[in-house]
Structure 1
Amino acid sequence: MRPTRPAAAIVAALGLSLLAACGSSGTPATQGATTGGTAAVATPLPGAVGIDAVTASGPVDFKTAPKVKFTAKPVSTSTVTSHVLVKGTGPESTAKDTVFIRAQIFNGTSGKLLDDGYGKGRTAEGFRLARTDIVKGIAKGLTGVQRGSRVAFTIPPGEGFGSAGNTNLGIGPTDTIVVVADVKSVRTGLTEITGTQRPSPAGLPTVTFPDGPTKAPTVTIPKSAAPTRTEQATLIEGTGPAVQKGQTITAQYHGVLWKDGSVFDSSWQRGTPADFPIGVGAVIAGWDKTLVGKKVGSRVLLVIPPADGYGAQGMGDKISGTDTLVFVVDILDAY
């Protein structure tokens, strides 16, 4: 699924925009992350101080912004370095989890507040740590945290925006980012859909999973004209909460063309689920119109004509302006 808006728009839709960077790559790791206390101390860069120079006071109630102080500056480390300011409870987060936080983000060189997750209208925001389109440092810094904890951690340039920095966000090429995060919850989403699949309605493609639910399905297109309006069918009804407008969904999906059954996009084939803001115009209208209201744990068949797809302009080399799209979507989570 290709987004319908520029990457920057998707970043903004995710909130905490300084931590979301479409185009970042790599799998989250635990190097330098806290596990059950204070992380192994990483030596600050010459002339700088480490994360221990950052303190925060006030309750962890997810309503009151912490009072963050830098006892010395600049804060600059060569690796992601964490410190638990308030210990939480429950299991520690892993790369399989989504962590919900309210956070304040600072430039470690100046101590300037760059983004305030406690600002007006803001709420706790979720980050699935296995995503490849968030800054690697946020995934590392939020690995090993517990519900109800307050953690401070650094994101050096190599784990953030690289040597170019991000001047629009006030981050120079050598600046370390400092995050103070209150962890509201830690949740593990589904890894596959279970349940008995219903047959596709008459006239719509059939869907089978010959290699199991963790591999791409086989979609068979009927020998008939494509529908002229968006069609949908819930093949497996989930038991989770309904997807709400404005949430981000985690989904496995497989897209083929009605005209010949050829695959144009598939998260299953890439080997990892994808995450999309839903109901806010960040994806094609056919997804926004059909997936809001579906329950987590559902498998949905979608047939989307150009008007609710990529329009007369098509998309790339595979999708023309007259192509009807067929999707199988497994909704693994919504946050």
Structure 2
Amino acid sequence: MLSRLTRPTALTAVSLCALAVLTACGDDSPEGETASGFDAVEVSGPVGEVPEVDWSAMLEPGETEAQVVEEGDGAVIEDGDKVLTNLAISNDFGQDISFDTYSDQGVLLEVGSEAEPAQVVDLMTQLVKDEIEPGTTTVGTRVAIVADAEEEFGDLALNLSSLGIGNEDGFVLVADFEAVALDGPEGKTRPAPAWAPEIVQEKGKPTALDSSGLPEPDPKATELGKAVLVEGTGPVVEKGQQIVANYIGQVYGAKKPFDSGYARPDPAIFEIGTGAVVKGWDQGLVGEKVGSRVLLEIPPKLGYGKKGQGEDIPGDSTLYFVVDILAAA
């Protein structure tokens, strides 16, 4: 139920099989000067922001090349780490940024893992993962990869139009390694307040929020209830950042959660403080530290209001969330 919290990332969710019949969209590229590898394109700009890409020529078909544009000074990335990464793509035909994740949701790359690509963006993330050297690559590093779509992906290049790449285009893929996500909350544990629901756990993971026995919250309340159950020691979450989070959400009095990130293989990524999520999240998580576990009591005014959301969240519902902040950048 992530779509109830944030905008769906439609471009990255397109399946490869659904696009397999697309036709070439780079066939009409104008003839002009060509160059090989990074002689054709230059990448600049600060890490953490959409890169500046300057094409001086069309890319000659050839082997895929990669280079470190800037080496970070953050933590060393190890095998098995999950790395919050932002991507940007530009092709040599349009020569602008045709796809990026900086203004919405980045991707979480698990170092050393291999899987068959299921979505178009998976083709790109695998290229990026191949450039991470466990024990050497550091957080804050920017890498750039130049490739010819047809030579790198063969027939799968027909799928790349959703990323702004024609099947005969050359392209540059830029990746910023922004943060390594924690496995769970880390810090000093604090007692829950009297108003808090009981956190039901199984194998150390929250599975439900039991509010039975608690007085019914006032649906006209305007104040957010917040308790930091684990006070993290990481950096402070700032407005406009992307956070990596595990969470569970349940309506007051409900018998089961309406959503649980803990039930999925990977935590979710959200932009915080900008209206991409419910107001209660924006108010409650900005200013907290990475590693924290935060309990939120969200009145309807800061949640889904009088209309509610679908069958699981009736109008005027008070929402309870437990959120583990695992990374921010």
Relative to the length of structure 1, the TM-score reads 0.67
1:127 positional shift = 4.4
**Within the alignment, does 1:220 sit opposite 2:210 as a pair?**
yes
1:23 positional shift = 2.1
Following the alignment from structure 1 to structure 2, what is the Cα–Cα distance between the partners of residues 141 and 278?
Answer: 28
- Aligned length, in residue pairs: 283
Of 184, 192, 200, the residue aligned with 2:184 is 192
Of 108, 128, 131, the residue aligned with 1:128 is 108
Tell me the alpha carbon deviations over residues 114-151 of structure 1, each in whole angstroms, 9 at most, x when there is no partner.
2199xxxx99x964325999822331222123455643
Given that 2:54 and 2:95 are in contact with CA atoms closer than 8 Å, whether structure 1 keeps it comes out as: no
1:316 positional shift = 1.9
- Name the SS for the 2:2 alignment partner: coil
1:207–1:5 Cα change, 3 Å: closer
1:21–1:155 Cα change, 3 Å: farther
1:133–1:320 Cα change, 3 Å: farther
Following the alignment from structure 2 to structure 1, what is the Cα–Cα distance between the partners of residues 160 and 172?
Answer: 20
Query: Within 5 Å, which residues of 2 pair with 1:170-209?
Result: 171-172=165-166, 174-176=167-169, 178-181=171-174, 183=176, 185=177, 187-195=179-187, 197-209=189-201
Amino acid at match of 1:296: V
- Name the SS for the 1:313 alignment partner: coil
Of 28, 37, 41, the residue aligned with 1:54 is 37
1:270–1:155 Cα change, 3 Å: farther
Given that 1:286 and 1:309 are in contact with CA atoms closer than 8 Å, whether structure 2 keeps it comes out as: yes
- Residue in 1 aligned with 2:309? 315
- Name the SS for the 1:297 alignment partner: coil
Structure with the bigger percentage of strand: 2
Following the alignment from structure 1 to structure 2, what is the Cα–Cα distance between the partners of residues 257 and 216?
Answer: 15
1:82–1:92 Cα change, 3 Å: farther
- Residue in 2 aligned with 1:84? 67
1:220 positional shift = 1.9
Following the alignment from structure 1 to structure 2, what is the Cα–Cα distance between the partners of residues 219 and 136?
Answer: 34
- Residue in 2 aligned with 1:113? 95
1:280 positional shift = 0.3
Mean CA deviation greater in 253-262 or 200-209: 200-209
- Structure 1: 5+ residue stretches without partners: 12-19, 27-51
- Name the SS for the 2:183 alignment partner: coil
Q: Provide the identity percentage.
A: 30
Following the alignment from structure 1 to structure 2, what is the Cα–Cα distance between the partners of residues 198 and 312?
Answer: 33
Following the alignment from structure 1 to structure 2, what is the Cα–Cα distance between the partners of residues 297 and 134?
Answer: 32
Following the alignment from structure 1 to structure 2, what is the Cα–Cα distance between the partners of residues 53 and 156?
Answer: 14
1:225–1:296 Cα change, 3 Å: same
Query: Within 5 Å, which residues of 2 pair with 1:1-335?
Result: 2-3=2-3, 7=7, 21-24=11-14, 53-56=36-39, 62=46, 67-70=54-57, 72-73=59-60, 75=61, 81-84=64-67, 96-98=81-83, 105-108=89-92, 110=93, 112-115=94-97, 127-130=107-110, 135-143=121-129, 144-145=131-132, 146-147=137-138, 148=141, 150-154=143-147, 156=149, 163=159, 165-166=161-162, 171-172=165-166, 174-176=167-169, 178-181=171-174, 183=176, 185=177, 187-195=179-187, 197-212=189-204, 215-223=205-213, 224-228=215-219, 229=221, 230-335=224-329
Given that 1:3 and 1:283 are in contact with CA atoms closer than 8 Å, whether structure 2 keeps it comes out as: no
Following the alignment from structure 2 to structure 1, what is the Cα–Cα distance between the partners of residues 156 and 273?
Answer: 29
- Name the SS for the 1:330 alignment partner: strand
Following the alignment from structure 1 to structure 2, what is the Cα–Cα distance between the partners of residues 197 and 160?
Answer: 49
Relative to the length of structure 2, the TM-score reads 0.68
Tell me the alpha carbon deviations over residues 45-95 of structure 1, each in whole angstroms, 9 at most, x when there is no partner.
xxxxxxx9321477978489565444644x599xxx443376958966767
1:68–1:282 Cα change, 3 Å: same
1:93–1:149 Cα change, 3 Å: farther
1:67–1:163 Cα change, 3 Å: closer
